[in-house]
Amino acid sequence: MFSSSSSSSGSSSSSSSSSSSGSKSSSSSSSSSSSSSSGGKSSSGSSSSSSSSSSSSSSSGGNSSSSSSSSGGGSSGSSGSSSSSSSSSSSSSGSSSSSSSSSGSGGATGLIFHSFGGGSTDGSAPYAAVIQATNGNFYGTTSTGGAYGHGTVFEITPSGTETLLHSFGSVQSPTQNFNDGVSPYAGLIQGSDGNFYGTTISGGANGNGTVFEITPAGVETVLYSFAANNFGSGITPSGGNPQSALIQDSNGNFYGTTTIGGAADYGVVFSVTPAGVETVLYSFGGVDGATPYGGLVRGSNGNFYGTTESGGANGYGTVFEITPTGVEAVLYSFGSNGGSDGAFPYASLVQGSNGNFYGTTKSGGVSKDNGTVFEITPTGVETVIYSFGGGVSDGATPLAGLVQGSNGNFFGTTSTGGNASNEDGTVFEITPAGVETVLYSFGGGSSDGAAPYASLVQGSDGNFYGTTVNGGAGTSCNQGCGIVFKLAVGGN
């Protein structure tokens, strides 16, 4: 059942500092010329582009607490191949069930919106957030399950009816690279044309992941396949293994990050056109950041902002800014205060209504190294507004970013902690001043979710929607196949 949470006790602390020692460090990109297999660029960030052709064929789908408050202190060597796959489509109510939590100071009531069944007829292990499309339905991805076991794209109505739109892994090359992609760890965005766009961590023509497009009817096209290894060096000049969602600019181009590849093999920031032309805007070099697991957010000044999970002056990760032309600046290097300022940011940032950016780190902080919520100004002044306490009274290890609710507060998830016996994670609310409330503690098992790795989305009805990797009624997975949940929060 949806379980009730007990009081959380974290701590609020602050550390003001900027990149490395308080100033921005920048490096610029150069021209973006196409082809060439060496591509990429050193950590000074050269940009290069390569085009890809794409053709599509239709694919269809298979199947379809109480809380208490606590005060918190190169160019690619390959062109993007297009592939298609087909599977049978049907709709199903999909183990949708409701279960209410007791309401505490957070006033949160939970509902299992959909329990994934796994196997060949449904997805499993959703690591990414859902989005609400213009038609009012929700769309998302699962990293496994589906007809071929390599993940799915699904649609779910506000009443809980789920449809499997696409199963990845249906088109295999002679080397079994699964040309249509494998294991989407990131969520979708809805493009200006009404179609959905996303990434897969592997698969594609070269096995290093893809950027794909899928129509609301389930027709999938691979726009770009990240490049093959560069002459056995293990480095993918155009990047590889993307784990974050894309964003789209007003010109229709998409931007994202990869966790590997680039000139130093520490990941890249890239853009790709709707026609599949990819450009490496910046290659990370280590001291300027490494391994960006989170995606980008476009600031009000037109520049992009993001995090790297490691690298930087202290090796604990960074917050960076990058212009659309590839000039990168490290705004902040974590670890300057021994980790009390946060360590290893795993998720994307959000720009608050006050113009500052907010995010999470999965460890660090002043309370038992359980992670933080931080605020950072556009000039690089960072403040830890909350340190998670973990244990039965608070969450720990946030792997997801935040969303600012209609009430001005921020909402997020932690992958562990909470008052359930297994500490299966929480949903929390935090004010800009750092007052945190545990809204819900997950209990796992067949009647609740466990391990929320993704951020939330606030639906048009004011409720929050999210996913958990484990838990739920699905029996084909050892710890449940995951759920989509709905959380009604008082005051929103």
Q: Report how far residue 150's alpha carbon sits from residue 277's, in angstroms, rounded to the nearest whole number.
A: 26
Q: Which one-letter DSSP state was computed for residue 286?
A: B
Q: Report how far residue 304's alpha carbon sits from residue 320's, in angstroms, rounded to the nearest whole number.
A: 8
Whether residue 17 has pLDDT greater than 60: no
Instruction: Answer with the residue of higher pLDDT: 139 or 91.
Output: 139
CA nearest 450: which of 166, 112, 154, 150? 112
Give strand pairing partners of 270.
Answer: 256, 280
Strands 32-34 and 108-115: unpaired
CB 375 within 8 A of CB 383: yes
CA angle 181–182–184, rounded 5-degree value: 100
CA nearest 76: which of 275, 224, 264? 224
Strands 416-417 and 426-430: unpaired
pLDDT digits (tens, 9 = 90+) for 265-309: 999 999 999 999 999 999 999 999 999 999 999 999 999 999 999
Q: Report how far residue 144's alpha carbon sits from residue 226's, in angstroms, rounded to the nearest whole number.
A: 20
Tokens of 475: 């029996």
Neighbours of 22 (CB within 10 A): 13
**Residues sharing a CB contact under 8 Å with residue 233, sequence separation 6 or more, in sequence order:** none
CA angle 346–81–233, rounded 5-degree value: 60
| pLDDT score for 242 | 97
Query: How far from 427 is each of 110, 421, 457, CA to CA, in Å?
Result: 10, 16, 12
pLDDT digits (tens, 9 = 90+) for 189-221: 999 999 999 999 999 988 899 999 999 999 999
396-417 average pLDDT score: 97
Whether residue 31 has pLDDT greater than 50: no
Whether residue 52 has pLDDT greater than 60: no
Q: Which one-letter DSSP state was computed for residue 80?
A: P
CA 241 from chain center: how many Å? Answer: 13
| pLDDT score for 436 | 97
Name the band, by pLDDT with cuts 50, 70 and 90, for residue 179: confident
Tokens of 296: 């980008």
133-159 average pLDDT score: 97
CB 124 within 8 A of CB 144: yes
